[in-house]
Amino acid sequence: MANEKVILAYSGGLDTTCCIPWLKETYHYDVVCCCVDVGQESELDGLEERARYCGADKLYIIDAVDEFCDTVIAPCIQAHAVYENKYLIGTSMARPVITKKLVEIARKENAVAICHGATGKGNDQIRFELAIKALAPDLKIIAPWRDPKWGLDSRESEIDYAHRHGIDLPFDADESYSRDRNLWHISHEGLELEDPSMGPNFEHVLVLTTPPEKAPDKVTHVSIDFEKGIPVAIDGEKMKLSDIIRKCNALGGANGIGITDIVENRVVGMKSRGVYETPGGTIIYEAHQQLEELCLDRETTAMKIEVASKFASTIYEGKWYSPLREALQAFVESTQRYVTGTAKFALYKGNIIKEGTTSPYSMYNESIASFKTGDMYDHTDANGFINLFGLSTKVRAMKLQEVAKEENVDHWQDLL
């Protein structure tokens, strides 16, 4: 009788490499590895040989870079999705696409389960499992780090387990940052980063980005064209979104852009310290925001800031496949109808400096904004507006003056 199949979300990293022999010897599954390419680049090198060597029965490498960009990154750009004011949610962005592909392979292979290597302390276990439940509620989910049969409690013990199974790894315990990379970003956790009192060893940590102090002593000028809130060209050259991100990654990385060191609040309740490199995303977000400053009215801007925060936290929490995300995205897309134009800026040693923004839908009117009195706005028009806008403030102050007089209070402001 043939063994049942499990689909392993395979990155080639330490956790999922150990999962292959563990699944086979613990549950006697045939292990079908699935690596979804969302822009890991060199991390995919040698992946097939490693999976086979570790005992995988099959490996799928699925190119989902453009799907990732067009279906997830694009709406996040439109929303300006940032978690806790700093994190551009690069890891959580990729999980919906990866999980969708895992489910597709599970159906193709008639698998009974999907396995992921996320730890029991992190956010990814939630992201993978909520997406699996939304797309394939009948499939079993195996999370080795939460399985009492796992028995591996650290990266050091995983390395030892792999060596005992004859698996040579390109990891050393003293250099084993926990990293996640895709086209949008790369994250770093572990080692000295687990101590928030220590500064990051950027010489050791950074992969995509030059430390700002070592960036060139010259300015790099860039322009990005947007249509309905989505980048469509860089420096006048039209290209697909994935290529724009690649070019912005190169420009931002060379100029020290997009390094974030944050202690964030995980969904599971603990705080976690990580360093994130998002050079291209940081540039694109800034350019998009420059354009929105011209194109969105005051009330829409205020509401969009609130929606963007909720949109980011919804994705961070793994709820991409939810009615709430769909509703939030619908609002965001409605705001982007006229966010079309060009943002120009300079990159210099970690800084993004405005150099001019234009849009055919710009709401900035120089004749109104000028200090000179014009036909559309007379300074005296503000008299009635301020009287009405401040009416409740004035009425309250008058009432307090009245009460102070009745109670013999010398300074009515003491009642505030």
Q: Among all residues, which ones are annotated catalytic?
A: 15, 95, 124, 178
Take residue 329 and report the two structure tokens written for it. Answer: 């995205």
Half-sphere exposure of 241 (CA within 13 A, CB side): 24
Contacts of residue 31, Cβ cutoff 8 Å, sequence gap at least 6:
5, 6, 8, 19, 20, 23, 24, 55, 56, 57
Write out the H or E segment, with its range, that includes residue 348.
strand 341-348
Phi and psi, residue 336, nearest 5°: -95, 5
Phi and psi, residue 402, nearest 5°: -65, -45
SS3 of residue 132 by DSSP:
helix
Q: Give the Cα-Cα-Cα angle 160, 165, 170 (nearest 5 degrees).
A: 60
| Whole-number Å distance between alpha carbons of 150 and 143 | 9
What stretches of 185-332 adopt beta strand conformation (E)?
186-189, 220-227, 230-234, 237-238, 259-265, 271-277
Look at residues 36, 2, 1 and name the one whose alpha carbon lies nearest to residue 16.
36
